[in-house]
Structure 1
Amino acid sequence: MADYLATADVPVPSKAELLQALRASRDEVGRLVRSMPPAALEQGRYEGGWNARQILAHIASIEWSYPRLIDIARSEPPPDDAPPPTRTMKGGNDSYNDRQVAKREHLTVAELLAEFEKNRAATIQAVEAADEALFTRRIRSAGGVVGPLALVFHQIAVAHVLGHARDIAGDSTHHG
């Protein structure tokens, strides 16, 4: 998978294109996960790391946060020398992700997929309700992706999620 943190030379999607990509990526995650035998979801995917079900737990655990990107865009633009508008995650990004995955260890694949789909529906609703002009505002995500809201949103909620979905399916050439 291309580096989802990189935004240079990546075209900025329109709001309509972003919504279409959010729906398509939701459908792709569901299709990939539902097409796999349950035992395959327990197999390791990342060297020394998560299995496919744990990657799904990660996807489910972060989806709730994407509408907050719209809140960042709504806030007054900070001066150029101001610190990022988001605070650093306690223990860093990997530590946060590991804690969120561990909290979901007891959930079934169906429950994880339901959490992802419920939160993706809320993400889509938030994008639909947001003013079109917000999608051109420059933001910085908690993970360090910088650019217009529409591009940051696409890189994180579409490219990043699809990279993980392909990892779940066993395609290790994209991510991880």
Structure 2
Amino acid sequence: MGQHDSLTVSLRVNGEPHDIALDDPRVTLLDLLRERLGLTGSKKGCDRGQCGACTVLVDGRRVNSCLSLAISLDGSEITTIEGLAQGDTLHPVQAAFIAHDGFQCGFCTPGQIMSAVGLIREGHAGDDPERVREAMSGNLCRCGAYIGITEAVLDAQARMASDRQGEAA
């Protein structure tokens, strides 16, 4: 690759199409979201995939965006914390985090919420707090708000399951 060559990556981010020229094929999804698209909700914590603060959904799956090369995700659907709410209506997981005090300083909260949304979509949450804690173990909280986080995930999962049953009836 020559010095002035650039690659283009096409992504749908929070429902919006983006064609982004990359000067460096090593740019991570996290840096692209924060620096090129101005979506700063995803946080750079450890920058090594160990804290979960950068968690986003890629094609519905939970991903540490600090470990994902943007170029490898060409054609993917990306959902960040900024894409969860519908206008002024919070996503059920966001509302549950508020109701259950699932955060203190808030730095890890976007990653926690995105991980919880992915976990619930995967159908692994159930109603077992231990399973939720295990499935969320890749998201660290320095403040120790884990009890509220677990309660929020369980509450949101139950609400979303009952909403789906209501829609099916």
TM-score (norm 2): 0.25
Bigger helix fraction: 1
Considering fraction of residues, name the structure with more strand: 2
Larger relative contact order, structure 1 or 2 (CA cutoff 8 Å, min sep 6): 1
